[in-house]
Structure 1
Amino acid sequence: MELRQLITFKTIVEKGGFNKAAEHLGYAQSSITTHIKELEKELGRPVFDRLGKKVMLTHYGNEFLSYAIKIIELYNQSLNIDKEPQGALTLGISESLTICRIPSLLLEYKTKYPKVKLSLKSLENYDVTRSLQNGEIDIALLLEKDGWRQEELYSEKLIRERMVLISPLNVKDLSQTALYSESRCSYKSVFDEYIRHQNMDVTESLEFQSIEAIKQCVRSGLGVSLVPYFSVKEELESNKLKGEIIPQQHSSISTYLTYHKDKWLSPSIIRMIELIQNHAKTWYY
């Protein structure tokens, strides 16, 4: 079994056919066909079904694909040992982290590793596993409830966040409106638990996609919200909002660093992970 056969096999799957794989790899189509025939002969079974003009993975081919990907990644990893970080790196980040904690980290990374093409992608927590598995992002920083785990992912809790109930300064009647991040956000379930525990008389709720929008609406007197302390530290210290720190015994959220367990960690990814871990040591609780 040769590495080029595995690369050809993987490329056919990614590009959707022999012709497109040949164009991408710069081979004649006959060479692509030969690679697959040799691979299937060694494996003793077909990896593709040829159904007219369509090419589909067999059940065995689908199972074998994950092994082929791992072998190719291990080969690439061996070539990049001790190499300077370079290439593309996509970091998925929860919106509130992007605003409050990440700018200085990104500046330091870009200064140290200018050859890395760094991209950021706003992260929806419910979609993190798919985004990592499909290669849309390489690593992720997200806010999730304590104890969050996904079987396919490696996750490291960087810090347990302090939660604060924010309210407007000069409004005595808080209108009993709860302002949430969107319904699938980790904040919402923590806020709901706190509302039940405190027997808060909440009769209405509104959902927002941005924590900045929530802060502005609370300041205007629209309602109250539960958010991580780091996201409103500036507003609390400048007396733009009132804040009630939630006791530690209540449910909270944490900031997690996560990536797929089968992900090959290139030098650029390793340096980013190390930098995130170092910065996390300075994050205030």
Structure 2
Amino acid sequence: MELSYIREFVVLAEMGNYLEAADALFIAQSSLSRHIKSIELDLGSPLFDRTTRKVVLNGFGQAFLPYAKKMVEIQEEYENVLQSYLSGVSSTITVASIPSMVRYNITDVLAGFKQANPRYKLNILEADSSQILQLLLEDKCECGFVRDKDGLFDGFNKIPFTTDHLVAILPKNHPLAEREYLSLEEIQNEPFLFLNKNTTMYSICVNACREAGFEPNVAFTGLRGENLIDLVAKKMGVAVLTRRPISGRIYEDVVLVDVVPYVTTSICLVYQKNKKIADPLKSFLGYVQTYVKENENATEK
């Protein structure tokens, strides 16, 4: 059975008209009719009920159609892969990520994917979540690791990747510094140090304070968490950040205290909806999904 005939069958099934299908395929109507009869002979049954103007799939044709589509899809896939090898051109995928790649194991995923798929060229961009979504809309990257936020992903598909939660950073001699956890209400009268207003983290922290029943006194916003921590050490206020990017370090003059109730944030891989997924992106999405499944029992570090 000719694979090209299978493709013609799929087009005819979708269009329901020999003349229109033949025009779309750039072949003669008589050739299309002959090719369909060849498939029917191979399968041992007619595929269509024919009228004077339209053709409609019969039960046998309806049963065959999904398999025909799979055969066409597989043919397109292997032709693209083989063509890239023959032409010597490497396919490229551009992945954007929030800055805390190491702490969220994103660098492990990028390196692992590259090792498993050496023929793909991997470009990596670093930006805040809102900036990454704009990069996606401008087709400057194919996918991005972003911090989840309600309503942020309209128009995007997402793959949950990992989670984190908020902590308060206090001076070492703060009255609450010995606590294992605290509520935001307990520090509501402190000057707050947050990341910049145009970041997703700023929105998450401000919304958490509002959920706790108060409007935070934001004394400083900055680009880097380490600057916020240094200002806390100098008794300029208290900071609220996510735990994983700052855990594992030794701080002499500040302490990290978990915020309760827990304010959890999710890191997701997002990509555009309703857009054809090229082979490099398809491979990367599959790799990430496998990584998440294999590490789904891992705890926050």
For Structure 1 versus Structure 2, the TM-score category normalised by the shorter chain is 0.5 to 0.7
Q: Which fold has the larger relative contact order, with Cα–Cα distance below 8 Å and residues 6 or more apart in sequence?
A: 1
Verify the 8 A CA contact 1:109 1:275 in the aligned structure 2. Answer: yes
Identity percentage of aligned residues: 13
Matched, 1:102 2:106: yes
The verdict on how the C-alpha distance between 1:193 and 1:149 changes in structure 2, with shifts beyond 3 A counting, is closer
**What letter is aligned with 1:123?**
A
Match among 242, 249, 270 for residue 258 of structure 1? 270
Matched, 1:182 2:182: no
**What letter is aligned with 1:272?**
F
Match of 1:126 in 2: 130
Q: Deviations over 1:38-75 (max 9, x none)?
A: xxxxxxxxxxxxxxxxxxxxxxxxxxxxxxxxxxxxx9
Match among 80, 83, 88 for residue 92 of structure 2? 88
Mapped to 1, the partners of 2:78 and 2:134 lie a distance apart of 27
Matched, 1:246 2:259: yes
The verdict on how the C-alpha distance between 1:104 and 1:90 changes in structure 2, with shifts beyond 3 A counting, is same
Match among 108, 119, 127 for residue 115 of structure 1? 119
**What letter is aligned with 1:264?**
K
Greater CA radius of gyration, 1 or 2? 2
The verdict on how the C-alpha distance between 1:203 and 1:128 changes in structure 2, with shifts beyond 3 A counting, is closer
CA RMSD of aligned residues (A): 3.6
Per-residue deviation, 1:255: 0.8
Please give the secondary structure, in 1, of the residue aligned with 2:260. Answer: coil
TM-score normalized by the length of structure 1: 0.60
Matched, 1:269 2:281: yes
Verify the 8 A CA contact 1:178 1:225 in the aligned structure 2. Answer: yes
Q: How many residues align?
A: 210
TM-score normalized by the length of structure 2: 0.57
Mapped to 2, the partners of 1:199 and 1:184 lie a distance apart of 23
Q: Deviations over 1:134-176 (max 9, x none)?
A: 210110100122x444332112333342221122323559993
Per-residue deviation, 1:260: 0.7
Match of 2:16 in 1: none
Match of 1:62 in 2: none
Verify the 8 A CA contact 1:186 1:253 in the aligned structure 2. Answer: no
Mapped to 2, the partners of 1:279 and 1:153 lie a distance apart of 21
Match of 1:166 in 2: 169
Equivalent positions of 1:24-103 (< 5 A) are 79-80=79-80, 86-97=90-101, 100-103=104-107
Per-residue deviation, 1:183: 0.6
Mapped to 2, the partners of 1:226 and 1:198 lie a distance apart of 14
Mapped to 1, the partners of 2:157 and 2:227 lie a distance apart of 32
**What letter is aligned with 1:180?**
F
Q: Is 203-212 or 83-92 further displaced after alignment?
A: 83-92
Structure 2 spans left out of the alignment, 5+ residues: 1-74, 177-186
Verify the 8 A CA contact 1:158 1:255 in the aligned structure 2. Answer: yes
Verify the 8 A CA contact 1:187 1:253 in the aligned structure 2. Answer: no
Mapped to 2, the partners of 1:273 and 1:189 lie a distance apart of 28
Mapped to 2, the partners of 1:94 and 1:260 lie a distance apart of 17
**What letter is aligned with 2:257?**
E
